[in-house]
């Protein structure tokens, strides 16, 4: 004896409404995907320095990120991929701190103190990144050149100079070149940070070349 066909029950109105709402929410979620990320992923790779700078400005300028690591006193990593790298490495514009990680030199005087100072101010903190629109956005190592604003609205670049943890970098012109020279001069005159006891021989080679008058031998 043949079996009767299975009974098909009509979908209740409530169930239809639930499914409809779920579909609407799913569609809304897809529509709210990070459009900036999609645009960066789908657009052709930049080929000229101007195109690279334009992409960097769109991706980083005046945007907030979390610092995942303080690499050195003047170098930090933020939580956004950069090409094949999981994080973006930032080299602070206009300042240079004593080296601790450069394999070509020994750990420099006051380097550990400057590195610890930056780590304390930045790691796991949310910062705002500003680029210099009139200058290159990258250095020769492809690190992003930036001014980094801390949660208290002060700029890390300036705080390092104020506290005597950094030298004003005279090798490259930038928008705050003269201001940073003045900040360093003030810290030096008040013997703050490294300027309390540093000797000329403990300064980086580039600074000794740029400033032959600085901390002359007695």
Known catalytic residues? 91, 99, 143
CA neighbor of 139 nearest in space, from 150, 131, 128: 131
**How far is it, in rounded angstroms, from Cα 146 to Cα 73?**
14
- Report CA-CA distances (Å) from 206 to 28, 102, 181, 187, 199: 56, 15, 15, 19, 15
Q: Give the Cβ contact number of residue 136 at 10 Å.
A: 15
Q: Are 80 and 121 in contact (CB under 8 A)?
A: no
**How far is it, in rounded angstroms, from Cα 168 to Cα 146?**
15
């Amino acid at each position: 004896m043949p079996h009767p066909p299975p009974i098909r029950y009509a979908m209740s109105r409530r169930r239809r409404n639930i499914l409809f709402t779920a579909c609407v929410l799913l569609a809304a979620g897809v529509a709210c995907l990070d459009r900036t990320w999609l645009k960066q992923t789908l657009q052709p790779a930049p080929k000229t320095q101007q195109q690279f700078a334009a992409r960097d400005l769109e991706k980083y300028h005046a945007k907030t990120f979390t610092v995942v690591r303080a690499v050195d006193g003047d170098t930090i990593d933020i939580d956004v991929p950069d090409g094949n790298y999981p994080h973006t490495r930032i080299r602070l514009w206009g300042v240079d701190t004593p080296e601790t990680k450069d394999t070509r030199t020994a750990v420099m005087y006051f380097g550990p103190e400057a590195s610890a100072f930056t780590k304390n101010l930045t790691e796991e903190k949310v910062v705002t990144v500003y680029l210099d629109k009139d200058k290159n956005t990258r250095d020769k190592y492809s690190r992003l050149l930036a001014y980094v604003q801390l949660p208290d609205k002060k700029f890390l670049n300036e705080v390092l100079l104020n506290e005597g943890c950094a030298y004003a970098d005279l090798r490259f012109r930038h928008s705050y070149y003269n201001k940073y020279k003045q900040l360093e001069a003030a810290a030096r005159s008040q013997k703050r940070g490294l300027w309390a006891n540093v000797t000329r021989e403990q300064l980086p080679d580039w600074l000794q070349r740029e400033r032959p008058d600085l901390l002359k031998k007695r």
